[in-house]
Chain A
C-alpha cells in the first residue's frame, strides 16, 4: 500500500504547447516534485481544480515547473480552466486507480452539465 495514494498535493501547473504528437491525457511532472510526493512515472493522477477534475497519465519532464507540472493545451485543460487561469493555475493532484480521461468523457460531461 502506497501511503501517497491517500494524499492530495498542491501543484503549480503550466499549460503549454508541445510540438510532438499528443493524443492521450498526459501530465508532465517535474521529477523532483514527483519523487518528493511519491508519484511514479506511469501513475494516473487526478488533477482537481474547484469542482472539476480530469485524470492524466504521469510522465517526467525536467522542464516542468519545480513545484508541479505541465499539461499540453487540450480539451482537458480547457475543461479545467477559465480565462483567468488560462496559462497556469494551482490545483490539487492525487494518485488514482483509474484510467486517464478520454476526450469523449469530457464532451459527455460538458453536454450533460449544460
Chain B
C-alpha cells in the first residue's frame, strides 16, 4: 500500500502475518492506529447519523454568504476537486494549510520560477544534497533512506560517504545536522537572508559572514544538486522569497541546482496543483472576487472576522493556528469533516466522521515533488470525503 502518513507517500508498505513492513515510526502509527480516536457525527453536541449531520452542514452553508472551505490537505485529489466545485457554487473562499506552510515554494515551482526535479532523479543523480530549514528525521523519516542521501543511484553508485555531499542548514544541530561529518557541512544559521547574501558574495569570490565557498565548489563538481527547503527556510526568509529564487538562478548559471519543498501534509501539493489547474492560484482564493490574495488566507479571514462559517476538512486549526486566530474561531459556525476526533471538532456545530485517505479510501495524491500516486487502501469505508462532498454539492 501507499503510506499517507506524510508527503513522501512511500509506495513499498507491505503486510505480512498482521505486521506492517517497511513503514517508518510515523507511518506505522498512522496506518496501525487508524481505528483509534475516530470522529463522531455530531450536531450541536448530539450524536446523529451521517446524513443528518450532512443535512445540518448544508443548512449552515446555505444560510451564509461569507463561508470559507479550509484544509483538504489529507483528502484525495478527487475529493479536492469536488470541494473546489462547492466553493465555486457557494461563491466563497477556499484555502489550505499551504498558506502558512510551504505554499509559496510550490507556487514558484508551478509557475516555473525555480527549477525542480523528482525524488527518483535525486536518488539517481544528486551530489550536493542541501536540507535547509527542515529536519527530515522527524518530518519525513524515510526521505534520506529511500530517496536522497543513502540509496545508491544509477549515477551515484559508490555510497553516500563518497558519492554524496550533504549540507544541513538549521538553527540548531538537529538529528540530520549530526550526520554532517565526512563529505558534509552543517551551517548553524542565525539569519537566512544573510546566508543567501554570503552565497552571492562567495559566487563573486568575495569574503562573507558564512563560509559557503566550499559548498559552491562541491556543487561545481556535479551535474545535479538539490535544495530541500522546509518551514524553517520559509519563515527565515520573512516573505523575501525572491532572494532564494535569485540565488538558485545565480547558481544555475554555473552548475545545475534544483529545488524541492520538503515537509508537509500528505496531499498539500495535490490541493495546490488541483486549484492551480482550475483557477491559476494555489490557495487563498475567493470565487466571489475571482482572485487569490493574502487577505483571503484562512487565518486572515478568521482574524479579521470576514467569514461567519468555516467548513474545516482534515485539519485542526484550534490546535495549529496562533492564538490571535484560534480565539476568533469561536465567533463563527464550524463544520468539521475529519476521520479523527479533533479539538476543533469539539467546539464545532457539526462534526462529520470521514475516512482515512489511502487506508480506507482510494484515489490519487501528489507527492512533495509533484509525482502523482494512486492509493491502494487496505480497508473500505463508504463514508469518505468524496461521499460527503458529493452530498453537499448535490444539496446546494
Chain A contributes a number of interface residues (CB within 8 A of B) equal to 31
- Given A87-B235, A114-B328, does the pair A78, B321 have CB atoms closer than 8 Å? yes
* A residues 12-54 touching B (CB-CB < 8 Å): 14, 16-21, 52
Known contacts A18-B138, A86-B235; is-contact A75 B29 (Cβ 8 Å): no
Within 8 Å CB of B174, what residues of A? Answer: 16, 63
Is B68 an interface position by the 8 A CB rule? Answer: no
A47, B369: Cα distance in complex, Å:
37
Smallest CB separation, A78 vs chain B (Å):
6
Residues of chain B within 8 A (CB-CB) of A74 are 319
Indicate if the CB atoms of B172 and A14 lie closer than 8 Å.
yes
B171 beta carbon closer than 8 Å to chain A = yes
Q: Chain A: which residue is nearest B300 at the CB level?
A: A83
Q: Is B323 an interface residue (CB 8 A)?
A: yes
**Across-interface contacts of B24 in A (CB, < 8 A):** 19
Contact status B322-A110, CB under 8 Å: no
B135 is an interface residue with CB less than 8 A from chain A: yes
Chain A residues in 8 Å Cβ range of B25 = 19-20
How many residues on B have C-beta within 8 angstroms of the other chain's C-beta atoms?
Answer: 39
> Interface readout for B195-238 with A: 1 if CB under 8 Å, 0 if not?
00000000000000000000000000000000000011001100
Contact A75 B318 (CB under 8 A): yes
**Is there an interface contact between A78 and B172, defined as CB atoms closer than 8 Å?**
no
A66 interfacial by beta-carbon distance below 8 Å: yes
Per the bound structure, the CA–CA distance linking A86 and B172 in Å amounts to 16
A-contacting residues of B (Cβ < 8 Å)? Answer: 24-26, 29, 100, 133, 135, 137-139, 141, 171-175, 177-178, 231-232, 235-236, 263, 299, 318-324, 326-328, 330-331, 343, 346-347
Closest 8 CB pairs of A and B: A65-B172, A75-B319, A19-B26, A87-B235, A19-B138, A17-B139, A82-B322, A114-B327
Q: Provide a sorted-by-A list of 14 A–B residue pairs whose CB atoms are within 8 angstroms.
A: A18-B138, A19-B24, A19-B138, A19-B139, A52-B323, A63-B177, A65-B172, A81-B322, A86-B231, A86-B322, A87-B235, A103-B319, A110-B323, A111-B330
